[in-house]
Amino acid sequence: MKYKELVDFLINKMKLSHIYQPVVIKSLLLNNGKMSDYDLGKKLLEYDISQIEYYQNIVNKMVGKVLRNHGVVYKDKNYFLTDFETLDDSQKNELVKLCDEIINKFIEQRGDSPWKHRNMNREYISGSIK
């Protein structure tokens, strides 16, 4: 779609029942006109306040509490990694790599089971049925 046609669509033709369309268009514009459905889903998730609040709660009530109890992080309005300033770039890179390895091993062993409860009985419902 050419520039003027896209402007016309955005201003005159697009009907919104949610922010999905402009988020997808904006994301494609910012990513050389191409993105996977997975990455577009992540972009939509960035705007989903209910999901952000859900994970904020997990951070504060579970993850943050455990990490604070072990002295890994501390909280003063924001979370801080304890003694972060003592780590050099090489150490930070190695720690990031180790975290990635642990995450990947967990996912490899358990698949989608840790998140499966959130998908149960959740099939796509078309807009016309809604």
Domain boundaries, the chain: 3-46, 49-116
Q: 80, 87 in Cβ contact below 8 A?
A: no
Instruction: Record the pTM.
Output: 0.66
SS3 content of the chain, % helix, strand, coil (to 5): 65, 5, 30
Taking only the tens of pLDDT, the chain with its 130 residues reads 899 999 999 999 999 989 999 999 999 999 999 999 999 999 999 999 999 999 899 999 999 999 999 999 999 999 999 999 999 999 999 999 999 999 899 888 887 777 676 665 555 555 566 5
What the block records as the tokens of 74 is 């501390």
C-alpha to C-alpha distance for 93 and 3, rounded to whole angstroms = 42
C-alpha to C-alpha distance for 44 and 20, rounded to whole angstroms = 7
